[in-house]
Amino acid sequence: MEHQTIVEALLLGLLEGLTEFIPVSSTGHILLAGHFLGFKSTGKAFEILIQLGAILAILTVYFGRLWKMLIDFPSDPRTRRFVLGILIAFLPAAFFGVLGHDFIKTVLFETPKLICIMLILGGFILLWVDRLDLSPRYHDVMDYPLSLCLKIGLFQCLALIPGTSRSGATIVGSLLMGTDKRSAAEFSFFLAMPTMAGAFAYDLFKNRDVLSAADLPIIGVGFVAAFFMAVIVVRYLLDYVSRHGFALFAWWRLLVGFVGLAALFIWG
């Protein structure tokens, strides 16, 4: 194992944790960074498997609330409806993700120019939505109707294109359908758990024959780095979004997208 590869895995893990829950596309950032670093992972599994660290970050930060939901689930209809809503929102991306897995991994993941274009397009959309004078009807994720959850889940399918952003797609969809900014970001957190866990499990299954013990240290370093960085982001993101909105992340997307295109033009 080369020392340089471990350092790259550490940097990419930190980048995953930093970007997973903000609407800038963690996968897009990792694929672009890996492209310019010359980082190669077996079956492109590293980029998916280290997301488990980000999942555990949510479980850590939200443990008390998740535990209360588990206790209340048998007796509280509101809790059962919320859990059902998360599962309904998860299903569309799960279906299309399995259906298009090979195309996504072998074609879309290998097209950095597409990633840059999606970052730029998403940045403009996020700026537009953030400046709309919207009148939210839903302020608590526990009160989202099941029909709204399904529509948010359909928006999440857009994130199968790297560079779109899973959280960005769900947040934009939520805002356009009447949620406030804080609850939109929070619903995206909860929806990330089954979505990312499902992607982790399916990608591990698909790559079971090509991954080896030599891949474990790289994945492990990325996993730990993603976990610690994601804990910081999850703890502070909701308060930031409530006060400042999403404009910062839109400009971030535009900067990375245009710089990425310029770098691809110069260095290929």
The count of domains in the chain is 1
In this predicted structure, what is the pLDDT of residue 3?
Answer: 47
With residue 22 as reference, give the H or E element that holds it.
none
The model's pLDDT over 177-229, given as tens digits with 9 standing for 90+, comes to 999 999 999 999 999 999 988 988 888 888 888 887 778 888 899 999 999 99
Neighbours of 242 (CB within 10 A): 13
State pTM to two decimals.
Answer: 0.88
The model's pLDDT over 67-91, given as tens digits with 9 standing for 90+, comes to 999 999 999 999 999 999 999 999 9
C-alpha dist (Å) from residue 172 to 62, 126, 168, 187: 23, 7, 6, 12
In this predicted structure, what is the pLDDT of residue 43?
Answer: 67
CA dist., res. 94 & res. 87, Å (int): 10
Give the residue numbers spanning the domain of 173: 3-267
In this predicted structure, what is the pLDDT of residue 211?
Answer: 80
The model's pLDDT over 57-67, given as tens digits with 9 standing for 90+, comes to 989 999 999 99
Residue 42 vs residue 226, higher pLDDT? 226
Q: Is 179 left (phi over 0), alpha (psi -120 to 50) or beta?
A: beta
In this predicted structure, what is the pLDDT of residue 4?
Answer: 52
CB 10 within 8 A of CB 221: yes
Neighbours of 10 (CB within 10 A): 15
Give the amino acid at 122.
G
Phi, psi of 138 (to 5 degrees): -120, 125
CA dist., res. 255 & res. 235, Å (int): 25
- Lowest average pLDDT, out of 42-46, 72-76, 147-151, 254-258, goes to 42-46
In this predicted structure, what is the pLDDT of residue 206?
Answer: 85
